[in-house]
Amino acid sequence: MSKETNEKLSLTDYNNEFLFKKNISNLNISFNRIAFIFFIFFIISLLFSIKIFYFGSVSNKKIIKLSAIKKNFRSDIIDVNGNIIAKSVITSNVGIDPKFVKDKKKLLLKLQIIFPNKNYDEVAKKLSKNKFFYIEKKMSPENFDKVRLLGEKSIIAEQKISRIYPQKNLFSHIVGQIDDDNNGISGLEKSFDKKLKSNEKPIELTLDSNIQFLIREELIKAQEVFKNIGAASILMNVNTGEILSMISLPDFDLNKREEIKNVNYINRATKGVYELGSVFKTFTFAAGLNEGKIEPKTSFIGLEKKIYCAGRPIGEYDDKIPTDLTAEQILIRSGNIGSVRIGQKVGEEKFKKFLQNIDVLNKIEFDIEEVGQPIPFKWGKCKLATASFGHGITTTPLQLAKGYSIIANGGYDIKPTLIKKDIKTITEKRKRLLKKGISKKVNLVLRKIVSTEEGTAGFANVAGYEVGGKTGTAQKSINGVYSKKKVNTFAAIFPTSKPKYVLIVLLDEPKPNKEYVYHYRDGRLPYKGNWRNTAGWTSVEIAGKIIERIGPILATKYVEFY
């Protein structure tokens, strides 16, 4: 091999070696770049994974928290028209921890934009104390979003379940309250606590918010006129026991969740136990008819103006009441002595049994626990006499409504209820308590009490509604002694030809108003001022105004049931 050839091979080998080394170098550079890029992507992916995991865990915590909150939800309570009376919602509370506030002046300026009506002098004082405080509870979603966008670490938000009552005071005694642990402590919230916690469909009531509002409004006006310390009313279907309205004044705003210890806030409609006076005379009259001891036209001749029992006098409230009266005239004119004589004809045992049958003597079963217990007493000749005209015997307005319903509806037992049920189921199970025909006789007399001049309830004679009823004026017993303070009651039924409703109106300790103007509905001139403090001039007046306002709703909205 020549020297030239060897040199060429050597050069070729050198070049090949150079090229190989160069390729290796390029390969290393490419690999390093790929590895670097992969590392960058790995780090980015890791960061994103950590972030996603973090937010996922936070979201899960939120979901778990919201799930736990929702477990504490209570079902809605709605009225007969579907209007919400009570509802559970998730609300946001926002507080401030002053320890994390960097610029207090700046924070206050930001808050003023969102909450312009707050007292920021007070907020500034709270900030200076360096203790956590709430700036707003039950915050609207709109304001909650605005607060979050402030980006302040010192602002702490929490979500909780809240029970709201859109009607505020309107159903306070009926619905009742819950405690901070979401447990019912009074009213329907307590008696239906388990069902409300089950998150089933809403509990539908028989109550009508529109009627409730109108009646409450008239009772509030009555307080302005007669200065009574409280009032109660019940509007109930006499055939089904369905309660369309039940009010007790004073009432309270359920949304404020206040602990109420003042006994004046008692539910007078169900819990209040009263001597109700002459409204009991209707029971005496009905018992006499039912036992066959009297008829409406049965005569009572030579009735005394005053009689004595155990040395105590029983007299008439009005000396103008004649001594010769028929049984129906005794009830129309509200005679005490005549009612005693009817009661004596019925007899102690039968009269007691009659009152027990219509459920005015024993504690009544009802949808809420706040129910009063009539004061027990020992029967005897004197107790028979006084009970016959409503003296020395007690019951609740709810039981009075039930008693009048039975007397008016044909003599059938009913169970007062606030819960909407199937009407057929209710009526098919009714039991007859009075003999056939008794109701018709009583209803005709109750109508005369309202429609005739001799009656005591003329101010309730609203045209077109055939209102009948009986007044009751009773002195309040305080520490066993009768005082000058009174309870005035009117028990009305309408229409008397085919009764459907009973309306009870009770005024607790009303006072006569000499400036009030009474407007008669029979064309007589208005009458200003009155010194009388009897139901005919107080409770009857208010009942008439109530019937005028709710009558059109009842006539057009509710299908009559007979």
Query: Using one digit for the tens of pLDDT, what is the confidence trace for 424-438?
Result: 777 777 899 999 999
Note the pLDDT tens digit of each residue in 140-153: 778 888 888 888 88
Task: State both tokens at 382.
Answer: 């004197």
Kindly state whether residues 274 and 387 are assigned to the same domain.
yes
- The whole-number pLDDT of residue 266 equals 95
What is the percent of the chain where pLDDT is above 70?
86
Note the pLDDT tens digit of each residue in 502-524: 999 999 999 999 999 999 888 88
In angstroms, the CA 360 to CA 85 distance is: 30
Cβ count within 10 A of residue 423: 14
Q: Considering 205, 230, 264, which residue would you say is the last residue of a domain?
A: 205
Kindly state whether residues 223 and 200 are assigned to the same domain.
no
- Transcribe 234-273 into DSSP letters: EEEETTT-BEEEEEEES---GGG------GGGS-TTTT--
Kindly state whether residues 173 and 269 are assigned to the same domain.
no
| Confidence band for 130, pLDDT divided at 50, 70 and 90 | confident
Note the pLDDT tens digit of each residue in 257-314: 777 788 999 999 999 999 999 999 999 999 999 999 999 999 999 999 999 998 999 9
- The whole-number pLDDT of residue 60 equals 43
- The whole-number pLDDT of residue 54 equals 45
Mean residue pLDDT of the chain comes to 88
- The whole-number pLDDT of residue 280 equals 98
- List Cα–Cα distances, 488 to 26, 276, 298, 334, 475, in angstroms: 110, 7, 29, 14, 9
In a domain, 348, yes or no: yes
| Confidence band for 89, pLDDT divided at 50, 70 and 90 | confident
In a domain, 492, yes or no: yes
- The whole-number pLDDT of residue 531 equals 84
- Mean pLDDT, to the nearest integer, of 52-59? 45
| Confidence band for 71, pLDDT divided at 50, 70 and 90 | low
Closest CA to 215 of 502, 546, 554, 492: 546
- The whole-number pLDDT of residue 64 equals 40
Kindly state whether residues 291 and 354 are assigned to the same domain.
yes
Kindly state whether residues 442 and 307 are assigned to the same domain.
yes
In angstroms, the CA 379 to CA 359 distance is: 17
What is the percent of the chain where pLDDT is above 90?
65
- The whole-number pLDDT of residue 57 equals 44
pLDDT at residue 27 greater than cutoff 80: no
Question: Mean pLDDT highest for which of 44-48, 489-493, 520-524?
Answer: 489-493
In a domain, 448, yes or no: yes
pLDDT at residue 449 greater than cutoff 50: yes
Note the pLDDT tens digit of each residue in 1-12: 444 444 444 444
- Ramachandran area for residue 390 (φ above 0: left; ψ -120 to 50: alpha; else beta): left
In angstroms, the CA 244 to CA 169 distance is: 16
CA 412 to chain centre: 27
In a domain, 115, yes or no: no
In angstroms, the CA 165 to CA 114 distance is: 25
Residue owning tokens 């009973």: 502
CATH number (domain holding residue 368): 3.40.710.10
- The whole-number pLDDT of residue 162 equals 85
Residue owning tokens 């029983």: 314
CATH number (domain holding residue 200): 3.90.1310.10
Q: Considering 181, 205, 229, which residue would you say is the last residue of a domain?
A: 205
The gap between the terminal CA atoms of the chain, to the nearest Å, is 137
- The whole-number pLDDT of residue 147 equals 85
Tell me how many domains the chain contains. Answer: 2
pLDDT at residue 70 greater than cutoff 90: no
In angstroms, the CA 86 to CA 290 distance is: 44
In angstroms, the CA 235 to CA 492 distance is: 10
Kindly state whether residues 288 and 190 are assigned to the same domain.
no
Helix (H, G, I), strand (E, B) or coil at 478: strand
In angstroms, the CA 551 to CA 445 distance is: 22
Name the maximum alpha-carbon separation found in the chain.
172
In a domain, 511, yes or no: yes
In a domain, 271, yes or no: yes
147 residue type, one letter: V
In a domain, 515, yes or no: yes
In a domain, 175, yes or no: yes
Kindly state whether residues 186 and 224 are assigned to the same domain.
no
Beta bridge partners of 482: 477
Angle at 400 between CA 399 and CA 402, to 5 degrees: 60
Q: Are 78 and 202 in contact (CB under 8 A)?
A: yes
Kindly state whether residues 187 and 264 are assigned to the same domain.
no
Kindly state whether residues 240 and 381 are assigned to the same domain.
yes
Kindly state whether residues 193 and 281 are assigned to the same domain.
no
Note the pLDDT tens digit of each residue in 341-383: 999 999 999 999 999 999 999 999 999 999 999 999 999 999 9
Task: State both tokens at 334.
Answer: 């509200």
Angle at 455 between CA 555 and CA 511, to 5 degrees: 90
Kindly state whether residues 361 and 418 are assigned to the same domain.
yes
Q: Considering 152, 176, 205, which residue would you say is the last residue of a domain?
A: 205
- Mean pLDDT, to the nearest integer, of 209-233? 98
Question: What residues make up the domain containing 182?
Answer: 69-91+164-205
H or E segment to which residue 135 belongs: strand 133-139
- The whole-number pLDDT of residue 145 equals 84
Kindly state whether residues 298 and 264 are assigned to the same domain.
yes
Residues contacting 263, CB < 8 A, separation 6+: none
- DSSP state, residue 382: H
More confident residue, 249 or 159: 249
